[in-house]
Structures are given as structure tokens and as C-alpha cells.
Amino acid sequence: MSEYYDRAARLKKARIDRGFKTARLAAEYFGIPYGTYSGHENGSRGIKEPELLNYAKVFRVNLSWLAFGDLNKARPINISGVVGGPDAVSKDSLKRHLAKDITPPFPVPGGVTALLVVTDDCAPYLRENDIVLVGERTNTKDQLNQRVALSVEGITFIGTLLSAAKANHFHLQSFNGQVKLDIKPTWVAPIIGILHQT
């Protein structure tokens, strides 16, 4: 959770350094409700990628700094699992994949892990061998209407988390538009980036 507050503090600093004396002035400039902007700046509300890009552009700060802080270089990330289910790859192949680390071409915060896509089921958005960067596991309800990775009965899925009528159950709309209904995830983590393999 401190990642949100750290990002919020950087956003506030960027606003002040750029000459916007109040959060209300910044909200008016961006044409968004004051409550939305102030939530971004006090850490009570997550910032979506397009908003982050816009803030970095207007406040004239480095996007990587605004998103992740003072990270000087990219560091290796552990491949912690696969998207596509355990039956999508052989056990030997899975062991080889999980023994690898990848180094993204940009800095990422601590606690980030990677999932290897082993299926084309998410096409056209994801293809086999793409890498999905996943943040730390979090409270499921905090991730509603966000792109997430989650585990159900040992299988990792990715998509947009939606609410469901049953307590502790959710719907998941995958990248290809299919919806999995009334699932009860064992863990949920935000997707913070995707590395497309060429």
C-alpha cells in the first residue's frame, strides 16, 4: 500500500514544482473532478496509466520517476508462474521457464514478479511468450474494475476484475472478452505492465 502513498507524494511534489498552488487548480486544469485528483494526490485512489502519462507530461517530470520513484536502473525480475494453466506446458518446460529471470527495459518497483504467457488464448492483446509484470498481492476489492492477475485453484488468469453477487466471489473479463463467472480467487495482484516479445 505504501507504493500508492509514495506515488501520491511524488505527484504532489510535481504539481507544486510546476506552479500549481492547490490540488483544486490542478484538477480544474486537467478537467477532472477535484475528488478524483485529490484522491490521486493523497494516495486514497489508484492512478490509471493514461492519467499517469498525462500528469507526467503536464508537470514535465520523468514518467518512470512519477510512477516508481528514483530507480536508476532496471533490475532482474523472477518469473513466478505462467498464464494459461499448468496443463499448457510440460513440467520440465515449466521448470526451465521458472528458473529464469527477465530484465525489463525500464525500472520497476520492488515486489514485482513476472508471469510468462504460454497460450495464445489472450490474443490479440497477448501472445505466447509475452511477459506480464505483476505487483504485490493485494485486497481483492481494491482491484475492482482494474486489470489484474489472479489465481483460482492453482491456475493463473489475467483480465479485468468485476464484482459479483456472491460474497468473496468475482467475475473476470479476460483480454479476449470472455467472462469467467463467480470465481473465488486465492490471490489477486495488479498488472503493472506487459512486455511483448518480438
Pairing state of beta strands 113-117 and 77-83? parallel
Give pTM, 2 decimals.
Answer: 0.59
Q: Distance from CA of residue 186 to its chain's centroid?
A: 18
Q: How far is CA 51 from CA 27, 31, 41, 114, 173, in A?
A: 12, 12, 12, 24, 22
Can you list the positions of beta strands (E) in 19-169? Answer: 77-83, 101-102, 113-117, 131-134, 147-152, 155-163
pLDDT in tens, the chain (198 residues): 466 678 899 999 999 999 999 999 999 999 999 999 999 999 888 888 889 999 999 998 888 888 887 655 566 788 888 876 544 445 555 566 666 777 777 667 778 888 888 877 776 777 888 888 898 888 888 888 889 998 888 788 888 999 888 888 899 988 778 888 999 998 899 998 888 876
Residue positions counted in the chain: 198
Give the CATH class of 2-68: mainly alpha
In which element (H, E) is residue 179 found? strand 179-183
Q: Where are the domains of the chain?
A: 2-68, 77-195
**Nearest Cα to 130, choosing from 158, 92, 172, 96?**
158
Coil, helix or strand at residue 173: strand
Q: Give the pLDDT score at 72.
A: 53
In this prediction, residue 26 carries a pLDDT of 95
- Matching CATH topology for 2-68 and 77-195? no
As its CATH architecture, domain 77-195 has Ribbon (2.10)
The pLDDT value recorded for residue 85 is: 53
Q: Residue 169 contacts by C-beta under 8 Å, 6 or more apart in sequence?
A: 182, 183, 184
pLDDT score of 1: 45
Query: Is residue 74 a contact partner of residue 107, using CB atoms and an 8 Å limit?
Result: yes
Residue-wise DSSP of 159-172? EEEEE-SSTT-EEE
In whole angstroms, what is the distance from residue 160 CA to residue 143 CA? 9
